[in-house]
Structure 1
Amino acid sequence: MKRQSSHFGSLVLIIALLAVLTVTVMMFGAHLGLWEPIVGFGYIRNYMNPIAYTVVTLGAMSFAYQLFSSNGVGIIKSFIALLIGLGLLAPMIYEKMHPSKQYPLIHDITTDTVNPPQFITLNDNRPGAKNSLVYGGSKVADQQHLAYSDIVPIYVSKSAREAFQQALNVGQSMGWEIVSQDAQKLRFEATARTPVYQFADDIVVVVTALKGTTRIDIRSVSRVGLGDKGVNADRIREFIQFF
């Protein structure tokens, strides 16, 4: 019994490793140009947990069988497979134990909800866009004020040109793709992508010279999705911290 083959344990371990590879491809497929970000996100949402449950089940069955067979090598392989399955289930388990914050179903966040910065270069024909760049008005503004009351205009003591250059540098340091910039009109537009699924969000920054001060406004809009789970607000908060 102790010397018997651990083929079953090997098979289960291979399945577990293939599951990890599959999940990795689903998550980062957009990086590889395999599909649009929303497709990879959909794959993860629909298939990750079933894959994880399958690996956990096979790992547990194999582990029990190898224990019964007193197969040391098979026990190790099965245990590793079981751990991999539990690792794939970890996000779901964590979510159950620590429910995520509820965010409003808005995806257009700006420091100026009265006169939000307008896009000129980027438009509704941008690749993969399902959402319009037309601001949603008071309905969106009211929800933003309730959820993100800290998102307000930036005021600096620098000249408008200095503030514009600093804002441009900050955007570049945050990894944004600068789509257009106008040093005369003190504005630029850019696109940022989320690190895993590569969702694209479009950004416009406008600098305004005022009496004795300079105002910087920023707007960040998701291309797809009703809500953004706070991503645009977090991006704006990070931008603000540099001033």
Structure 2
Amino acid sequence: MSDTTNKGGWRLTVAGAALGVSIFTVLWFAAAALGSKFGLWGWQFGLGKMILSWGPILTFFALGLAVVAFIIALIKAPRFQPALLALAALLIALMVFFRIAGFGAQAGSLPPIHDVQTDWSEPIALSESLIAQRRSDGALNEVQDDPTIDESAEGRWPGMGGRRVAEVQEEAERERTVDGETVEPAYDRPIEPVYFDQSPGEIASYALQIAEDRGWDIFSRPETGQDVERTMLEATETSTWFGFKDDVAIRIRAVEGATRVDMRSISRVGLSDLGMNARRVSTFMDELESRADGRRQP
């Protein structure tokens, strides 16, 4: 049977195979994340092996096969169906490729920390109950008052191993000069406390509502009475894909005629959080400031 009568022959078969591989690549990454979330395998296997080790190999194979399929689809008529399938395969493979490239660039541009808070000079202490919960759930990252970056970070982030997290966070928040060159801040804005005129109990009500609106699991609820001078909210956010759990502690207290809110966000596993904890603190504090008419100065 000719290429014309079977609408593409072997070229259509190659294009279909390329499309199948590209779709399989997308499903591979989804399976790696969801399998980790639902306990089919550990996150080290899902993220470390399936995505970081095998994922790029599969993506390059899908991309290469799609390019080959598209080229041979244009060799002779009929071209429409083989070229259409090959183009779809190429677009899907490119989408995955650029997502991986963006992930790598993001990981390299952000500091290897997983613990962020608004005031390292007076760190927020998680309750013993939450710390015990972290341990029972297999958390690998310890909660410390003055943590340092693990020496294993040296491989990907030279010069970071052993440095204080507080110093690295401060550098990530502000523009600085290194060897005569200006380095843009890694974070969008400084991680800082917010002040309010309302009582700590009133602000605690706002904070609790925002946490509930975001779907966080509330671990310890704050006191919300008018006479409350100091209280704390603790919660856990679980990521959509891998099911990673990050713990949040929000300290609300009366300080020099105002109510000051500080916040800490710390991952249970992983060396780098890819900026997630910083974004969580920034967006939460922005929303709290907006809802309760807060300010960044006492």
TM-score class, shorter: 0.7 to 0.9
Which residue of 215, 219, 235 maps to 2:264? 219
The Cα of 1:57 is off from its aligned counterpart by: 1.7
Whether the 8 Å contact between 2:107 and 2:274 is mirrored in structure 1 is no
Q: Which amino acid aligns with 2:55?
A: M
The Cα of 1:125 is off from its aligned counterpart by: 0.6
**Which residue in 2 is equivalent to 1:83?**
91
**Which residue in 1 is equivalent to 2:218?**
178
**Which residue in 1 is equivalent to 2:186?**
none
Q: 1:142 to 1:11 in 2, by over 3 A?
A: closer
**Which residue in 1 is equivalent to 2:4?**
2
State how 1:46-125 maps to structure 2 within 5 Å: 46-72=53-79, 73-94=81-102, 102-120=109-127, 121-123=129-131, 124-125=134-135
Whether the 8 Å contact between 1:23 and 1:48 is mirrored in structure 2 is yes
Distance 1:238 1:126 in 2: 29
Q: Which amino acid aligns with 2:171?
A: L
The Cα of 1:54 is off from its aligned counterpart by: 0.8
Between 77-86 and 154-163, report the one with greater CA deviation: 77-86
3-state SS of 1:226 partner: coil
Q: After superposition, what is the alpha-carbon deviation per residue over 1:104-142, rounded to whole angstroms, capped at 9, x for unaligned?
A: 322211112122111112115141311001222582222
Which residue of 169, 184, 198 maps to 2:209? 169
State how 1:181-200 maps to structure 2 within 5 Å: 181-183=221-223, 186-200=231-245
Distance 2:147 2:65 in 1: 53
Pair 1:159 & 2:219 matched: no
3-state SS of 1:68 partner: coil
Whether the 8 Å contact between 2:37 and 2:244 is mirrored in structure 1 is no
- How does the TM-score come out when normalised to structure 2? 0.72
Unaligned residue ranges in structure 2 (runs of 5+): 149-163, 175-189, 290-298
Distance 2:71 2:111 in 1: 46
State how 1:19-38 maps to structure 2 within 5 Å: 19-38=25-44
The Cα of 1:177 is off from its aligned counterpart by: 1.2
**Which residue in 1 is equivalent to 2:180?**
none
Distance 1:22 1:145 in 2: 37
Distance 2:222 2:91 in 1: 54
Distance 2:115 2:271 in 1: 10
- How does the TM-score come out when normalised to structure 1? 0.86
3-state SS of 1:112 partner: coil
Q: After superposition, what is the alpha-carbon deviation per residue over 1:78-115, rounded to whole angstroms, capped at 9, x for unaligned?
A: 2222222222212245578x776623322211112122
Which residue of 169, 180, 191 maps to 1:144? 169
Q: 1:154 to 1:35 in 2, by over 3 A?
A: farther
Structure with the larger RCO, 1 or 2 (CA within 8 Å, 6+ apart): 1
Alignment size in residue pairs: 242
Whether the 8 Å contact between 2:117 and 2:263 is mirrored in structure 1 is yes
C-alpha RMSD over aligned residues: 2.6
Q: 1:10 to 1:179 in 2, by over 3 A?
A: same
Q: Which amino acid aligns with 2:248?
A: I
Q: Which amino acid aligns with 1:201?
A: D
Whether the 8 Å contact between 1:148 and 1:233 is mirrored in structure 2 is no
Which residue of 191, 205, 208 maps to 2:250? 205
Q: After superposition, what is the alpha-carbon deviation per residue over 1:4-29, rounded to whole angstroms, capped at 9, x for unaligned?
A: 43333323322222222222222333
3-state SS of 1:109 partner: strand
Q: 1:13 to 1:147 in 2, by over 3 A?
A: closer
**Which residue in 1 is equivalent to 2:295?**
none
Between 64-73 and 117-126, report the one with greater CA deviation: 64-73
